A and B are shown apart, each in its own frame.
Chain A
Amino acid sequence: MDTDPVLLEVRNLVKHFPITRGMVFSQQIGAVMAVDGISFTLRAGETLGLVGESGCGKSTTARLILGLIRATAGQILFAGRDILTLSKAEMLKVRRDIQIIFQDPYASLNPRMTVQDIIAEPLEIHQLAKGIQKEQRVRELLDVVGLNSYHGRRYPREFSGGQRQRIGIARALAVKPKLLVCDEPVSALDVSIQAQVVNLLQDLQAEFGLAYLFIAHDLSVVKHIANRVAVMYLGRIVELSSKEDVYQNPSHPYTKALLSAIPIPDPAHKRKRIVLKGDVPSPIHPPMGCRFHTRCPQLMDVCKTLDPKWHPINPGHEVACHLFVTNG
Chain B
Amino acid sequence: MKRNRVRVPLVLGSVLITLLFCTTAISVLYTPYNPTVMVIANRFSPPSAQHLFGTDQYGRDIFSRVMAGGRASLAIGLIAVFSGMLFGVVLGSIAGYFGGRWDEILMRIADGLYSFPAFLLALLAVTIWGPGQGTAMVAIAIANVPIFMRIVRANFLSLRQTTFIEAARAMGATDGRIIRKHLLPNTLPPLIVQITVSFAAAILAEASLSYLGVGVQPPEPSWGRMLREAQSFATHAPWTVMFPGLAIALTVLGFNLIGDGLQDSC
Contact = CB atoms under 8 A, between A and B. Distances in A.
B170 A125 contact: no
B164 A109 contact: yes
Given A68-B170, A95-B172, A112 B186 contact: yes
B167 A108 contact: yes
Contacts, number: 57
B173 A125 contact: yes
B171 A95 contact: yes
Best-surrounded residue of A96, A99, A110 (most CB of chain B within 10 A): A110
Contacts of B171: 95, 99, 121-122, 125, 171, 175
Interface in A77-113: 91-92, 95-96, 99-100, 102, 104, 107-113
B162 to A, nearest CB: 6
B186 A110 contact: yes
> Contact residue range for chain A?
20 to 34
Interface in A287-317: none
Interface string B123-139: 00000000000000000
A66 interface: yes
A66 B170 contact: yes
Given A110-B182, A112-B185, A125 B163 contact: no
B265 to A, nearest CB: 15
A64 B168 CA distance: 15
B108 interface: no
B164 A108 contact: yes
A92 B181 CA distance: 19
Interface of B: 162-164, 166-174, 177, 181-182, 185-186, 188
23 contacts: A67-B170, A68-B166, A95-B170, A95-B171, A95-B172, A99-B171, A100-B170, A102-B167, A104-B163, A107-B164, A109-B167, A110-B164, A110-B168, A110-B181, A112-B186, A112-B188, A113-B181, A113-B185, A121-B168, A121-B171, A121-B181, A125-B177, A168-B167
